[in-house]
């Protein structure tokens, strides 16, 4: 399984129209992949829609990205977009595929840039730490970028922002998180966005 995370920067007040366009775009008969998540930013950079899709193989992902590039109206909402970026990811290999479901009212999408050579040791550190960490709250996915600067993105659901703060504090207090050895591979460049599921999101 491979993943694409698209970030749509949209005009103020246009989110509803953008979401309707995304819904139609991913359901088009020519579309490849499966919609897994669609969220609107709430804390962090605003006026952004995040679209997570899963693909069975690289050929399907390639075909879908070609469809977007050749489209005169990508995501069926280009008139409301001020920008779009798409990123290709592979999952940390010890994790199961993303499973749609109801997991929380807020999600966090967090990306860390890594030092060169940092992907493999980061995966190893997470593999050791995730079993205990996910006893506190579920993990949607952790995945590393297949192009550009070395980096990885992870997505977590929470019942509320208060729930997120309490769980993060508990994980640090118990020594469960962050993964031992993991921070040594971070460059210090990171971003985190709190997002809310949209009505079309299979992850809600």
pLDDT tens digits along 16-31: 999 999 999 999 999 9
Confidence of residue 6 (pLDDT cuts 50, 70, 90): very high
**Are 2-90 and 91-197 equal in CATH topology?**
yes
Q: What is the pLDDT of residue 130?
A: 98
Q: What is the pLDDT of residue 143?
A: 98
> What is the arithmetic mean of pLDDT over 27-46?
96
Q: What is the pLDDT of residue 131?
A: 98
Task: Find residue 190's DSSP bridge partners.
Answer: 112
pLDDT tens digits along 76-128: 999 999 999 999 999 999 999 999 999 999 999 999 999 999 999 999 999 99
Q: Does domain 2-90 have CATH number 3.30.70.100?
A: yes
> What is the arithmetic mean of pLDDT over 187-197?
97
Residue in 78, 58, 68 with CA at minimum distance from that of residue 14: 78
N-to-C CA span, the chain: 21
Inter-CA distances, 69 with 4, 117, 146, Å: 14, 31, 18
Q: What is the DSSP letter of 28?
A: S
The 8 Å CB, 24+ separation contacts for 68-75 are 74/25, 75/6, 75/8, 75/18, 75/21, 75/22, 75/25, 75/51
Q: What is the pLDDT of residue 59?
A: 98
Beta-strand (E) ranges in 44-159? 48-55, 81-91, 106-114, 141-145, 151-158
> Rounded to an integer, what distance in angstroms lies between the CA atom of residue 3 and that of residue 88?
6
User: Contact 16/63 with Cβ under 8 angstroms?
Assistant: no
> Rounded to an integer, what distance in angstroms lies between the CA atom of residue 126 and that of residue 179?
6
User: Contact 95/141 with Cβ under 8 angstroms?
Assistant: yes
CATH code at 91-197: 3.30.70.100
> Rounded to an integer, what distance in angstroms lies between the CA atom of residue 70 and that of residue 73?
9
* pTM, 2 dp: 0.96
Domain boundaries, the chain: 2-90, 91-197
Q: Is 34 exposed, middle or buried (0-12, 13-18, 19+ CB in 10 A)?
A: middle
């Amino acid at each position: 399984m491979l993943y694409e995370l698209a970030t749509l920067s949209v005009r103020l007040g246009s989110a509803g129209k953008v979401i309707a366009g995304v819904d139609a775009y991913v359901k088009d008969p020519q579309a490849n992949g499966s919609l897994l998540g669609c969220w609107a930013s709430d804390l962090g950079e605003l006026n952004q829609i995040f679209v997570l899709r899963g693909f069975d193989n690289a050929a399907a992902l390639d075909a879908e990205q070609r469809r977007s590039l050749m489209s005169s109206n990508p995501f069926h909402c280009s008139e409301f977009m001020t920008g779009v970026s798409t990123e290709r990811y592979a999952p940390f290999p010890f994790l199961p595929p993303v499973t749609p479901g109801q997991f929380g009212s807020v999600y966090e999408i967090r990306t860390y840039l890594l030092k060169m050579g940092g992907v493999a040791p980061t995966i190893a550190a997470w593999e050791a730490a995730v079993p205990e960490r996910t006893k506190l709250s579920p993990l949607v996915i952790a995945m590393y970028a297949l192009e550009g600067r070395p980096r990885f993105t992870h997505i977590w659901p929470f019942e509320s922002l208060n729930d997120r703060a309490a769980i993060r504090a508990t994980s640090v207090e118990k020594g469960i998180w962050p993964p031992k050895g993991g921070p040594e591979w971070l460059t210090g460049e990171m971003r985190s966005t709190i997002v809310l599921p949209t009505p079309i999101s299979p992850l809600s």
